[in-house]
Structures are given as structure tokens and as C-alpha cells.
Chains A and B, each alone.
Chain A
Amino acid sequence: MKVGLFIPCYIDQFYPMVAIATMQLLEKMGCEIVFPLEQTCCGQPMANSGFNTLSKGCDRNFVANFSDVDFIVAPSGSCVLHVKEHLADAQNPEAAEFIRTHIFELTEFLTDVLKVEKLDAHFPFSVGWHNSCHGQRGLHLSSMSELVAPHFSKPISLLNMVNGLQLHLPSRIDECCGFGGTFCVFEEAVSVKMGKDRIKDHEENEVEVIAGGDVSCLMHLEGILKRKGSKVRVMHIAEILNSQK
């Protein structure tokens, strides 16, 4: 199975360890990984700011890079959702359609395509799980507190396979952290307040690590944690699932 690894731009630049963990994890599961070197970004920053029209160049570049694989996997619910919902290429509509239907967020790929049932992972820490909205409400990686529907969570069932990990859920199980793309700078006050409140909720459980599936949310929470000199770390789920003794 040939898997094209899509590494969102801010992960490539600032959180390479998340990309490395994603790659190693998928390789352990027997996937053949390719990382198309000319990839850049999914175009979401422009589109969510109202300039979807400006993301056409990104779209074309994306299609050119990811046409030659069986699946595309990314460690980011938000970017995957954007590609699924908005990727378009007038010159190459079929290739774009293939990508939209074959791109997966990491945990859904592990759960739904690779059907992972056990993991050789060890992570002896107290971990709080942060549900990122786009993965949850957009990609349906887990049930949502607003709906009357059966409970499930793809990332949490994976975390439950990790030895030594103690999982703690915050009291507001799926409230947004306030990152929201450019919202984090244009609505700085509310954005930071939302982040502080999520952190407080996790702190009540005395977690050592706040884990999530979207680095953008984690980067925002990390920024607040560091500013207040907290010892709590943020980690992407790929890093945890890839941890061994």
C-alpha cells in the first residue's frame, strides 16, 4: 500500500518530530511511505479568511504532488477536512476527486483503513485528550456532545491500546480551544481566553501531557502554557502512538 504523506506547512517547519513520528508509525504498520517533496500547504489559511479564490495555486500544487499514491495521510484533521471539502482543480478534476476521497486523517486511517486493533506502544504518563473541532465535528473522528447518538472515539480507542498511559478527559469534552486559524490573531482576546479555559480544565485532572490530533490547536495551547511557565507539555497523538520503551 503506497501512502503519500501530507505534512502541513507549520508541522514541516516547526514540529518536524510530529511528521517523523507519523512516518515511523505508518512504516511500522507496513505502509510504503512517500513524501512528495514539492508539497506546501492545503490552502486552508487563505480559504478560511475568505480568500478561497487565492488557494487555487495551492490546490494545483497539491494535486500535482499527490496523484500517484493509493492513499494520502496527514497528521491533521483540519487540513484533511479542508482538502476533502474544498480541493478543486479545473485542469485535473478526476485527480482532485480521487484525492478528496482518498485522503485520511492519521487516526481514522489507522482505525478505518488499517483496522489497527493493537499497538506496541508504551507511554507511562497522565494524558489529557483534546478533541480538535475539525477532526471531530468535520471528519467525525468521534461522537459529539451535542448530538443524541452512540458514543465512540477513534483517537481514544487508539490511546487505550498504549501501555502505561492514563487517560483523563476534561469536563467540557469537546469545547474548542480557540485557535481557529487567523482567528487566533484577529480575535486575540477571545482566542487566548478560550485556550486558557481549556488548559484549566485539563489542569484540574493534573495531566502531564495534553495530547491532540491537530498541531495547530496544540501550538496555541503550548504558547499559553509556556507563557505561564507550566510544566504541562503538548504532544501530537502520533508521537504517543509511536513511543516505545
Chain B
Amino acid sequence: MSKSHAALAAEFTADENRTDWHDETLWWVRQKRDKAVQQIPEWEILRQWASAIKEHTLSKLDEYLAIFEREAISNGIKVHWANDATAHNEIILKIIKEHSISKIVKSKSMLTEECHLNEYLHQSGIEVIDTDLGERIVQFRGEPPSHIVLPAIHLKKEDVSETFHEHLGTEKGNNDPQYLTESARTHLREKFIQSELAITGVNFAIAETGGFVVCTNEGNADMGAHAAKIHIACMGIEKIIPKAEHLGVFTRMLARSATGQAITTYTSHFHRPRPGQEMHIVIVNNGRSRQLGREDFRNSLKCIRCAACFNTCPVYRRSGGHSYHTAVAGPIGSILNPNLDMKANADLPFASTLCGSCTNVCPVKINIHEQLWKWRQVIAEEGLVAPSKKMSMQVLGYILSKPSLYRLIGKTGRWVLRHMPLLVKFKSLNPWYKQREMPEAPSESFRDWYKKNRRS
């Protein structure tokens, strides 16, 4: 198992200035979101609608997927079904091989990150160029994205300059964002022109029309799809909405929740291949049907990947996306990833104070913090909590169910705190004391006071 969230978070926070900068940058995005939504008096109603549309769709997901497939095929799109990440990757490799293609561009798709498509293709000697600016930066650095909307948000402009100097030959030490963006743009333009095959994600797939919608701010999905002779769009089964008329509810919320923009710069609708082009859709399950079957966690599939829950999360802002050691980090990642691999991700539902801010910002009203709590119960039930923690909880549970024992321990505890502070304050044994003082131990408990002063 990789390092736990707590260990990775401790590494991240060790650089306090960088932590402050990361926290403040994302808090600024959260504030932009607040300003944008406060201008929509019907915001809470929109959330209700969005949640209800998704609820309905999830309850008839099989039907809507079948309708979508039928309509997409009649539009001339080739539809593929993948039950897991491997199947998804194999389908894409097969299409690439059939056309003997080597120049591939990909716009942002968290699903392909989840399936580790780039690594898979790399092993077959095929290189994919990520065309989202942030994704290209992390790709150069050999890192995964740390945020689903802002993949390189953990990096400062100095880091980007360094990376571009190394990979694109930009001037060393030139940190001017304008200059750096321009260099990346020139580099990517070349890749777009050469590309033969473009992979995109899907934000919304509309059952009644068989079309799909891709939202970006950079227009890179369009550049790729328009230049290449083959377009492959990858989507999870939960991306379906029933009708085109439902789309407006989501497009009004997505960008406002994500960055505080009224709408993404590009909201591109794809319905059919243009003449001479081939268009494929890969519809992926990869554990989603299992999540659909878990009643307590089902509505995590409503997620539209806006990342509002990341930006508001006080833990995420201070621990960075990589501390979640998964493709989708943040609060939503912490309720999705235990479904994919409970053992490897058993730490994630505990990487939260359960403050509930995520649930409040979520445009589709996923009860994220309640699901975190429920995952904790499941994980404990499955025996995936450290034995020492389990034991201490058993002891605590026992003491607290026995009033006389509790009183005795309370007295002893206060006595120990008062008389042997060094013992309790033995730092390595007590994480509380590392950066905090212990509360002072009073000579009497409230119970003692009450007996003396109030009981006749």
C-alpha cells in the first residue's frame, strides 16, 4: 500500500508557505464560486432539480443507456462497452492499432486517468499528448493531476517555468505566465495539427439525442476533435441525462460551481461524425454498477466533476491533491475510491473532519460528509482499520458504557495529567502534544462540583 493520506499530508504541510499559498489560491476559487452563485436567486432550486434529474436517471440507468446507444448508433457513432478499466484501455488500443496511428491528442478526461490509459498505451509504445494546459504540465513532470478541474494547481509559476525550460526549451527563469502560456500554446498547436486521433472526455451524454457535450475553457477538446480523423469519447455510465432540455440545469451550475464563471468558455455539442471522420464512444462501468447497488453510496454517481467540494474542503486545501493517492482526489474521491479498492483507500474516508462544507457546495446535492461517515462504518466492519485504533475504540466504548468505571478513569486521568505531565506529554506517544498543549486538569469534575453544590 502507498503512504496514507495522513503521512502524505504531513509531507505537504511541512512546507508551510506553500501550504498557505495552495490554501489561499483554492479559497479564492471558492470565493469566486460564492459570488457567482449568490447572483442566482434560484440557486438552491437548481440544485434540487439537478439532484432530482440525476436521481431519476440513476433509477433507470439501464434504460437510458440503451436509448443513448440506439440514438448514437443511428447518428453514425460507433458505441463500445467496457466493463472495467482494462477493457476500456484495450478498446482504445485496438482502434489505434487498426488505423496504425501514432499521433494522438487527449483533452481532459478523469475517466482515462482513473483507467491509467496513458501508462497502458505507453507500454505498447504509444504516446498520448495531453492538451489541457495543466494536464500537459503534470504530464511533462510525470505526475498525476492533483485536482480534477485545475490539474496543476499544486504548482507555482516558478515550477512551471522550470518544467517548460526542461521540456520545451523556454528561457530559464522566465516566470511570466503570458510567456509560458504562449510557449505551451505554440507547442500544442503543432501537436493538434499533426494529430490523427483525438480522445476526449464527456461531461453529459443525452439519451434522447444520442449526442454528448464536452465542456472546456481552453477549446482543446474541439481543436483535437476537429483536426483528427478519429474521435474517441470516453464516458462513465453515470454521465447520462435523459433529455436535451435537462442540459441547461447542469451547464448553468457546472462552471459556476467550478470556477465562478457563468459558463465554460467552450460547451461543445457532438452528435455525429463529420464526413470522412470516425466517431467512437466508449461507455465504461469500472465499478460504477457496484456503487449503484450500494444504497448508502449510490448518489455519489450524481457527481458532475465540478470540483467545488475540493475547493471548499479545508483538508484538501492544506494537504494537496496528491495526498489522496488516487486519480480523483478530494471529498468526492474519498467516497468513490473505497468502492474501487476498499483496502488501498481505507484511509480516505478518515481524511475529513466531517465539517459538511462539501455537501453544501455540491451542485447535485450529494451528501458527501454523511457518506464519509458511512464508509467509516463499512471499513471498520470489513476489518480495515488499524488494530490499535480498533482496540482503543473497544476500550473507550466499554469505559463509556460503565458509569462507575468512567468516573474512576476520569479521576485517575485528571490525576495523571496534573501530577505526571511529563508522562502524558511524552511527545512521540502523543500526537496531540506535538504542536498543542494539553488542557489543564481541574481538581474536580463537574460531577464532583454538582454533588457538593446542588445535591441536597
Contacts and interface: CB of A to CB of B under 8 A. Distances in A.
Interface of A: 7, 9, 11-17, 19-20, 23, 33, 35, 37-41, 43, 45-58, 60-61, 133-134, 137-138, 144-149, 172, 174-176, 178-195, 197, 219-220, 222-224, 226-227
A91 B353 CA distance: 32
Could you say which of A51, A137, A183, A194 has the most chain B C-beta atoms within 10 Å of its C-beta? A51
Interface string B29-56: 0000010011011011000000000000
Interchain residue pairs A-B with the least CB separation, the first 9: A57-B401, A180-B353, A223-B436, A50-B380, A54-B397, A146-B360, A50-B376, A137-B356, A176-B355
A60 B398 CA distance: 12
A84 B442 CA distance: 30
A60 to B, nearest CB: 7
B397 A180 contact: no
Contacts of A39: 403
B208 to A, nearest CB: 30
B350 A183 contact: yes
B377 A52 contact: yes
A149 to B, nearest CB: 7
A170 B392 CA distance: 36
A187 B350 contact: yes
B439 A222 contact: yes
A49 B376 contact: yes
20 contacts: A7-B446, A14-B439, A15-B442, A35-B454, A41-B400, A43-B397, A48-B354, A51-B380, A53-B380, A54-B393, A133-B354, A137-B359, A147-B44, A179-B353, A186-B350, A186-B431, A188-B432, A188-B434, A189-B10, A227-B437
B94 interface: no
Could you say which of B376, B413, B446, B448 has the most chain A C-beta atoms within 10 Å of its C-beta? B446
Contacts of A61: 400-401, 403
**B interface SS class:** helix
A189 B203 CA distance: 36
Interface string B305-318: 00000001011001
Contacts of B279: none
A61 B389 CA distance: 23
A108 B296 CA distance: 30
A96 to B, nearest CB: 15
B442 to A, nearest CB: 6
A194 B401 contact: no
Nearest to A86: B373
Nearest to B447: A12
Nearest to A137: B356
Interface in B344-391: 349-357, 359-361, 373, 376-377, 379-381, 385, 389-390
